[in-house]
Amino acid sequence: DSVQTHAPGLGILMLTVTFPKRACTEDCRSKNLIAEMGTKSSDDLSVNSTSRNKRSSGDVPLPGEAKSDRNSGTQPSKVLDLQVVDVGVTSVNLTWRVNDTASESYTYRIEVANGTHVWNKTFDVKEAEITELIPGTKYNFTVFAVAADGQTEGGVSISQYTKPSKVLDLMVADVGVTSVNLTWRVNDTASESYTYRIEVANGTHAWNRTFDVKEAEITELIPGTKYNFTVFAVAADCQTEGEGVFVSQYTSKEPVSLRCIYFLAFPEPSQVLDLMVADVGVTSVNLTWRVNDTASESYTYRIEVANGTSIWNDTSNAKEAEITELFPGTKYNFKVFAVAADGQTEGEGLSISQCTKPSKVLDLQVVDVGETFVALTWRVNDTASESYTYRIEVANGTSIWNDTSNVKEAEITELIPGTKYNFTVFAVAADCQTEGEGVSISQYTSKSQLLAVVFVVAETLPLSDFGFCFNCLSSLSPPWLMDCCFAFPEPSKVLDLQVVDVGETFVALTWRVNDTALDPYTYRIEVANGTSIWNDTSNVKEAEIAELIPGTNYNFTVFAVAADGQMEGEGVTVNKSTGKSQLLAVMFLWTVLCCAAQETFLFLFFFFCAVPSSVNSFQCESVANMSYLMLKWECPYGHYSGFTIKISIDSWVIKEEESRSCSGEGFKTSPLDYFKTYNVTVTTFSNDNTSSPVQKTCKTSITDPPTPETAPVVKVLSHNSLSVEFFDFETLYGPLKAYAVMIITEEEGCPPLKSKLNYTYEDFKKKKTGTYVTYVADTEKAKLPSFRSQNIIDVGKGNTMYGYKNGPLTPLHSYRASVAGFTNISFTAENIIMEEHSYVSFSPCSDKVSLPQDPGVIAGAVIGCLLAILAVVAVGGYIFWTRRRKDKRNTEVSFSPIKSKMIKVENFESYFKKQQADSNCGFAEEYEELKSAGVHQPKFAAEIPENRGKNRYNNVLPYDISRVKLSDLNSVTDDYINANYMPGYISKKAFIAAQGPLSNTIEDFWRMIWEKNIYSIVMLTKCVEQARTKCEQYWPDKQSKTYGDVAVTMVLETVLPEWTIRDFNVENANTQESRMVRQFHFTSWPDHGVPETTDLLINFRHHVHEYSSQNPIDSPVLVHCSAGVGRTGTFIAIDRLIQQIEIENTVDVYGVVYDLRMHRPLMVQTEDQYVFLNQCVMDIIRSQKDKKTDLIYQNTTAMAIYENFTPEPGFGKANGYHA
């Protein structure tokens, strides 16, 4: 019953165990068991064989052996939602869930296989970390739920590559002017299957390159530029990347052309000579130097700047430099090095030190004044001000001297009483030489009070020489010497102080004094304007105070001053404002009383100034729908003869006119060009003199756009629709705001059209008019005339724009079309155009086109004839059809590629079963045939170096033939975005397929949304999947955010189990226009995979279609995932196929995918997605057969969005289309 054996030297032991016949049942049989050995190859293994009935209840049955009835129980369900939640270099983390009620007692066996080995791990919880894996290797993980009694059910599998290890020894092997060669190594055993992604960045752009070997040459680089090269090892699935390793390198500079080069290495430049400070500012220092080297023309210069706390470098290509952004009053050391043409070899440096100038002192004030002193204070904001000293320059008109202070205040002493002094304060840097700009203030010292004057009088001195009368001297005789003490009396106040003349910069004053001693008086005039005070003097009873500020209020106070120059009388004040403009005339008026004749004479004089004043309050305005400008101004002060008006563009004078008046009615210029900016100058003239000119910049009004010379082109689309093709109107007379397409019936020919702008399709159907507006389209940004683009409007589609319905036309009728272009368009409350308030012109009428008969009518008329003919030729037709079919088979073998495989709905189920057989072998063959579709089309725009950094994946580039072009902003590459127009079932541009935005393309993404009139966005990826960024979040969460010229605000967010809907208000900052954009975010679609059930995607598509069908007909639906090809292609294909089933009762999955791939590469990226498309079609057709089509278009989820209705938990979770 037992066998004991071992196999030396082997890692496994093979045993054959045979149970005796006496203990055998019908289940007994031979088994080959493979058991792992112990630590030694010579270990023994014993196997005891007994009857099965003797085994304990806890024994595990042999493989394939059922448990006894006594221990049998319900088998566990398969695990659900098996997912990889984290991937490492040597580990993978898995999670799953189990819905069984007994799942708390389960354990989980995980079978791990990598193609060469298989092993098992056991876990007690619904998650596991599988470790000790090989980097960059594909593993298959199969999870079995194991019940407490050891029973299990089939496992659920998932595959995942581990991350490759980081590359090692990344080095720059060679550097060129426009290229860098890199090498590296990888120790992983799976490295032969790796590819390598190299991210190249230069600070402004980033792009990717892919290589299959452990070396790379990165080309098309910019000379002399620093690049960061980051290398990622990528596993065989082309998705799983290891951690990046980067290296930085400058490319070589462009070679310098020298006259004579006799050496391979650049010689070290000589030291610069005569380094000097040429100029010093508050925050800058200018340096100059010279170099005697013959190669100095190719030198650059590095200037090392140090201030004791920090050091930095500046560069110069010439032998001079201005070092800016320095601190005021700070000492800097500047060291200049000559650098050879290689940018590396430097000569010995030469140094010079210099302090920057201190800033001007602030708030200089006089805080105290005495007879012989003045006290000053000030402040300084410089950080280095603690090291400053201050020089105070003192001047009194006759002498100048300096005083010094170490603090921000000073008392200047030993001054003369009653004297005006000017004090100028300079901040001086720590070198005691470098001074800042001075700030000045003026102040009089106080006057001394005269107490007595001592005169020494000689007998022989005539009394008249004193100018005074001394009564005490008249009785003196004989002559003798005596001391006379005389105190000067205080003068009386001046009388009749008047302002007799006022100018822009002066005021003339007069006054009188009644004192008997008035002859020796002088007069001090104190002038104050609220901000400053100063003094003027006069020896006569009048004064002209000059150098005043025009239009300023002044107080003039006049003091009479006695002969001692100190004793003053009380002041008298008068207030007056200077004139606001130049003085044109001065009048002098006085009277003379003739005592003898008792008559009074009046003298009146006028003096005219030579220069007239400028006009005031000059205004320049455009006049609506007129080409002239209206000018207004106020008359200037004083005398003038007239006004000269000059109108110019830049320096070119267009017109020159004259006006003699300045009435309030204004001056109308002669006609100018519409919508053009002019410089308008008005100058006052008087005789041969002119005033200073007054200038305004004005723009003339817009008007009707120029009438196009060519008529629109009209093409028949169907029995009730046509297309109108036309080019943009010229924008010479203003930017185009809108276009209106007008339909003219054959009866009216081409009548005057402006009066027809308020007629609609309904008016036409009621026979009120034969001409009507069928469509109004807002324009995009106005383009320059040289960039006029073609527009195509489909007429008869049934949509409504503003108050105009684009209704279907009548078969067998003839129509003409005209296009109205508007530079200004106004609407009534009913959104009907108001022609009297709109600026519009019309294109010529098109040629007449006639619509064909309705195909349905034709079919009814001929069906009887066809039946008769069919009966006659049935036999012959059958033979012909059989032969044709054989020929067609032969033809299909010889011609490639196949573009369509149309199948009728009633035949699709048998076709589906046939293709599904043998593990979807038929679908796999079809998908393989699609690989070559469109791949040879050019992608030049995407491969331009400036555009490479705008691509998320370097193998998904838009074809030039269908790429979306944005408007050019600053360069020709600004029109690029990784997106293509995609055909829908009806329109050739029903969709835009785009990659998920990168951080550097979010502004372009919103610019595309605005420029292409997009109202619906379909997002089919999460921003982050499997710890990798798949798409940048390009929308704001709460606060409004601006992307370039577009401001975006989220106004509503509705989160559902499988998708989220967001509404955004999008506003253009330039035009102030806004529109609502809705984003449908499907969150249940794994990358490179398919949704859990078909009904999820079909219901989601229905809600998108229901909303987007209300958008303008020229508004495409923007669809994106991460790359914009796999999930995006599947969604667009589903939309087309559903409409094809509904309208044609046919299906062409192959043809739809082929058509999509002709517009963008890799659309429907995986075979699983292609099979899923066919499964969706199959489920839709089956539901129609079962009369359950309401499931396709049920509005349950829509109600949840808009009416807070919550679906039941089971909704949307069926395994097929049927919910």
pLDDT at 244 > cutoff 80: yes
Computed on alpha carbons and rounded to an integer, the radius of gyration of the chain in Å comes to: 49
Contacting residues for 601 by C-beta, under 8 A, at least 6 apart: 591, 592, 594
pTM above 0.85, yes or no: no
Is residue 1044 within 8 Å of residue 1038, measured between CB atoms? no
> Token pair for residue 422?
């000017």
Is residue 1100 within 8 Å of residue 1059, measured between CB atoms? yes
pLDDT at 265 > cutoff 80: no
Of 1014, 996, 1003, whose CA–CA distance to 1077 is shortest? 1014
Calpha distance 231→718 (Å, rounded):
56
Of 677, 684, 714, 713, whose CA–CA distance to 698 is shortest? 677
Q: Where in the chain is the domain with CATH 2.60.40.10?
A: 76-161, 168-250, 273-355, 362-444, 495-580, 616-699, 713-856
Tell me the pLDDT band of 904, cut-offs 50, 70 and 90. Answer: very high
Residue 863: what pLDDT?
67
Residue 1120: what pLDDT?
97
Find tokens 């003739």 and name the residue: 594
Find tokens 């199959």 and name the residue: 1178
Q: Please state which of the ranges 733-742, 882-891, 1040-1049 shows the lowest mean pLDDT.
A: 882-891
CA distances from 171 to 175, 177, 230, 234, 241 (A): 11, 18, 11, 19, 20
Indicate the length of the chain as a whole number.
1219
Calpha distance 115→138 (Å, rounded):
8
Residue 556: what pLDDT?
95
User: Which CATH superfamily groups domain 495-580?
Assistant: Immunoglobulins (2.60.40.10)
Active site residue 1121: yes
Of 680, 714, 710, 676, whose CA–CA distance to 697 is shortest? 680
pLDDT at 614 > cutoff 60: yes
User: Which tops the pLDDT comparison, 870 or 986?
Assistant: 986
Q: Please state which of the ranges 110-119, 154-163, 400-409, 477-486 shows the lowest mean pLDDT.
A: 477-486
Contacting residues for 485 by C-beta, under 8 A, at least 6 apart: 452, 453, 454, 455
pLDDT at 1219 > cutoff 80: no
Q: Kind and range of the H or E element at 994?
A: strand 991-994
Class of domain 76-161: mainly beta
Convert the pLDDT of each residue in 1128-1162 to its tens digit. 999 999 999 999 998 889 999 999 999 999 999 99
CATH 2.60.40.1120 fits 616-699, yes or no: no
Residue 999: what pLDDT?
92
Average pLDDT of the chain, as a whole number: 81
The dotted CATH code for 927-1203 is: 3.90.190.10
pLDDT at 481 > cutoff 50: no
Find tokens 């002192």 and name the residue: 361
Tell me the pLDDT band of 747, cut-offs 50, 70 and 90. Answer: low
Residue 739: what pLDDT?
94
Is residue 634 within 8 Å of residue 622, measured between CB atoms? no
The residue from 355, 662, 1121, 1176 that is catalytic is 1121
789-816 average pLDDT score: 89
Number of CB atoms found within 10 A of residue 625's CB: 13
Convert the pLDDT of each residue in 453-472 to its tens digit. 444 443 333 333 333 434 34
Convert the pLDDT of each residue in 1045-1102 to its tens digit. 999 999 999 999 899 999 999 999 888 899 999 999 999 887 777 888 898 899 999 9
Is residue 473 within 8 Å of residue 534, measured between CB atoms? no
Rounded percentage of the chain residues whose pLDDT exceeds 90: 53
Convert the pLDDT of each residue in 21-63 to its tens digit. 433 333 433 333 333 333 333 333 333 333 333 333 334 443 3
Mutual angle of helices 1126-1144 and 1094-1108, in 10-degree steps: 80
Convert the pLDDT of each residue in 758-787 to its tens digit. 999 999 999 888 899 999 998 754 343 334
Number of CB atoms found within 10 A of residue 140's CB: 14
pLDDT at 702 > cutoff 60: yes
- Say which CATH architecture domain 273-355 belongs to: Sandwich (2.60)
Fold of 713-856: Immunoglobulin-like (2.60.40)
CATH 3.40.50.2000 fits 168-250, yes or no: no
pLDDT at 640 > cutoff 50: yes
CATH 3.40.50.300 fits 362-444, yes or no: no
Tell me the pLDDT band of 588, cut-offs 50, 70 and 90. Answer: low
Mutual angle of helices 905-929 and 1167-1185, in 10-degree steps: 180
The 3-state DSSP composition of the chain as helix, strand, coil percent (nearest 5) reads 15, 35, 45
Residue 1188: what pLDDT?
45
Tell me the pLDDT band of 287, cut-offs 50, 70 and 90. Answer: very high
Instruction: Identify each DSSP E strand in 451-582 by its residue range.
Output: 453-457, 482-486, 495-502, 507-512, 522-528, 533-538, 542-545, 553-561, 572-577
Rounded percentage of the chain residues whose pLDDT exceeds 70: 79
DSSP-derived letter for residue 1162 is T
